[in-house]
Chain A
Amino acid sequence: MADKEKKQKRRTIKNIAKERTAMPEQPPLIRATNFEEVALGYTEENAVREAQRCILCPKPRCRNGCPVDIDITGFIAKIDEKDYRAAYDILSDATLLPAICGRVCPQEDQCEGVCAIGKKLEPVAIGRLERWIGDMAIENNWFQVPEITPNGKKIAIVGSGPAGLACAADMAKAGCDVTIFEALHKPGGVLRYGIPEFRLPNYVIDAELANLEKLGVKIECNVLVGRLFTIEQLRTEMGYDAVFIGVGAGYPTFMGIPGESLNGVLSANELLTRCNLMHAADESYDTPLGIGNKIAVIGSGNTAMDAMRVSLRVGAEHVYCVYRRTREESPARVEEIHHAIEEGVDFHWLTTPLEILDDGEGRVRAMRCIKNELGEPDDSGRRRPVPIEGSEFEFEVDRVVYAIGTNANPVIGQTSDIEMNKWGYIDTDETLHTSIEGVFAGGDIVTGAATVILAMGAGRKAAEGMKVYLGLEDSEEDAKAE
């Protein structure tokens, strides 16, 4: 032990491996024809090697970069010590979904973006390590149900995305009787219907949901809250002591250019839902997909990358990305863009769609666009795309997929008196309490479309607020103290 400590102390940026341990992946041209996971995951050897690149900073900056304040140094040190179970316990203090966040967090903007060695070398692959531990936990069934003392409080969670799941877990651990209501026939929110199998396999979501059920959380699908009953009814006649709203911001937007109602124009959400939730590409399921041969996807965020890579996998011959700025300004995770390029997506950077053209029978024939150059920075600090006069051009496509962002879902606003801002997102105070007493909200429906980890963080923060509101002691903390 003393030896090991010495060894660790001596680790500096000078004597660690310069390059991060590569992630084993399926070769691009093979994976573009299947739905198996692209990134295969570290082996134990890979993980230990990567853990040893962390210099275990005394004041780790990485931790500040993590929205849920994971003790990154702590869990990495445990991997180095080969005490993987302990690494998992450290992770699960902060996150319910390590196998998911390790896969989908935009680490380059968060933990890894501020990693100390990142200035000179490639940062420690924190996400990959987190995923590896998360996968180990699933494989070995490490999830442990804490001692829970029921307190008789009933909690309703609306929406089963990461925000709802995180809030549900914390409230169940605190001893509450928790029910999640989900409108679709399967739980998981965007994790299920949006992010495709090759990035986040369903078995990972199922395993994390199974853990929730072990905590006693009930999940009721096929319940559209607002319409089957209202938020107000949950608090009054249905007897819930507190409610959390995590309905996401899934309402897809279009641009309002001519030709958007042609057959062959659809939102990325529709394409992804048909594929992921409804299994349209699988012959044994009934939902049609109607994928074309030449597909243009507008936008360059995660949703766009997913839509493009799904299109390739279901047999499109040619997939284009049409984005008005450049690769540098793309909001997608760096890894997703890299993967999309490797798999053969054809990128039209600095391109704005002007019109979608009709084949004469109400279907998409082609798209007309204009080229841009980058001008002065705009409000977001990114350089504004400025159209270049006379640069219009046309190219043949038979599908146009919109992935240019989403708005707040309107159903809760239509059916309750909850206060919202002018864009329809729910207003909350700093504890995430809304204008209706005992009703909290968090995730995309409060912030607008964001990330899995931010939604999860919001769910946990709302749970904190709820516990204070209900005057609860945390039974899990008690159990630990004993």
Chain B
Amino acid sequence: MEEINNSEVDRTISDFWPSIALVGSIFGVIIFALGLVFGYMQIQSEPTGAIFSPMMFSGVIVCLVVAFAGIMAIWHYTREVTPFIKLGQGALIGFLTGAVLVIVSTVLNELWHVIDPEYTQKVIDSTVAGLEAMDLPEDTKNTMIDATVESMRSEQSIFSQILYGIPMYGILNLITGLIGVKIFGKKEDEETF
């Protein structure tokens, strides 16, 4: 029976962790900082009634930045460990990088609430003030305010940040991890995935 030498590609998860932990931690800090910047921009903004608020930018910008974490983790792995990487390994690294960055940013968010306990309430108040300034029918406005306040409060709990964050950013980085394999990985002469 033919023996296939997969020594270069049969890696254990312990080989992946340095890249996952490093890149996940860095991006966790970056998205935490971005969230704070947009949060305080929201707090300091005047309620003009405009549809777009700093917090709306926050979600899109954070999502765009986070998408690069999977690619960067693969880049780091291919530089530091081995350039030979399977598609499935890239997906795993990407997913776990997304999970790590969510956990890091969640922990930092919680720590920030110790430094500024009123932060969430100030963001909610500012967002509500912006919604109230909108030129909309009163019923629509009240519905929007209720939904926004409920959504922002629920998003602040550790449980929901992790529950929704890990699948969302994990899958996003799983996909970008696959793209990272395509860009930075090398295939062995004979390989299965």
A, B co-complexed: no
